[in-house]
Amino acid sequence: MYFRTNDSRMKKPTKKTNKPQKLFAKLVKVTKKRFDKDPLLKRPYNEVQKWVSQNLYKDFKGQNPTKVKIANIQNAIEAVIGQKIAKIVCGSVFQVPDGDIEEQNWWEFFDNLKNIDGNVKTRLNAGTYGVSDILISQDLQRDAEVAKIINEIRSASNNKSGSTIIGFRRVLPGKKDDGDPCSYFIDFILSEKGILVDDASDEVFLTEEQSEESMAARRERLKTFKKQRSARARKEKAKKRKRPQSTQQEKTESQEMAQRRPSDIRALNAAMTKLEGFYNKGLITKKEFKNLLAELIKKFEEGGEV
């Protein structure tokens, strides 16, 4: 006679299909594809992951990744974009003075980029050395690809001047020249031996009124920058200011005292007691007592025999 056993070890392990990492990867893939189609939304892969984590993942959490339809993900993306698109603040290329994007040495690029409103869309276009994504200027300054491109130019130039970079106001791909700040970007194009590596014949120029407004906007940014720099300088000065040393000195002296052998301390105490006895009996004067006491303490601090 045979009996069935209820042995859990005989069961085959079930295959888990609802893995959070697979679901997250699927959401990121669909979102990255959508963002790459729009210059205003395009961003590095790690930024897309962050966006999905903050805005999308909570709506699909716990679902089976194989059963989540791409159409549903796309609809969710558009819903979030629709809520946030009004919050996007585009810096205006028309508030950037010509002087901030005129011809510059390649090694001045990052320093001059700091003068531009951080929300203005920008790109580094260096031809065969590389072309960056279109990013707001504050992100372009930190972009690893841009740093790599500049290093390539540095190597080719043998770390010398020669190649220059010139900024051009251009209409974003897929957009119209309609005056909307979100429709434009500044393309920083490399020039080698006076020849641009890319065509910039579609450059958008400032009107006389826009030129005056751009200078006013730059002055306001400069005031803000100076205030921020002054605040940072005050903080740095406060950090470097010398603090009273008495507390530290007392701490050091206490540590040194603690490190001395107990026998040395006992010898010091005995000598001081003996010295006080001589003074109390009138065998030495007050002046002699002070001098001998000072000499006794000096020998102890120097590590000599008391």
83-91 contacts, C-beta under 8 A, 24 or more apart: 84/55, 88/40, 88/182, 89/119, 90/40, 90/119, 90/120, 90/121, 90/180, 90/181, 90/182, 91/116, 91/117, 91/118, 91/119, 91/120, 91/121, 91/136, 91/137, 91/181
pLDDT of residue 1: 47
Residue 188 has pLDDT above 90, yes or no: yes
pLDDT of residue 60: 92
Full DSSP string of 63-113: S-TTTS-HHHHHHHHHHHHHHHGGG--PPPGGGS-GGGTS-EEGGGHHHHH
**Which single residue is written with the structure tokens 């999905």?**
52
Nearest alpha carbon to residue 74 among 62, 82, 66: 82
pLDDT of residue 84: 58
What are 93-120's pLDDT values in tens digits?
Answer: 988 888 889 899 999 999 989 889 889 9
pLDDT of residue 205: 81
What are 133-184's pLDDT values in tens digits?
Answer: 999 999 999 899 999 999 999 999 887 777 999 999 999 988 888 888 889 9
The per-residue pLDDT of the chain, averaged, comes to: 79
Higher pLDDT, 250 or 27: 27
What are 18-48's pLDDT values in tens digits?
Answer: 578 999 999 999 999 999 888 778 888 999 9
Close Cβ partners of 257 (under 8 Å, ≥ 6 residues apart): 265
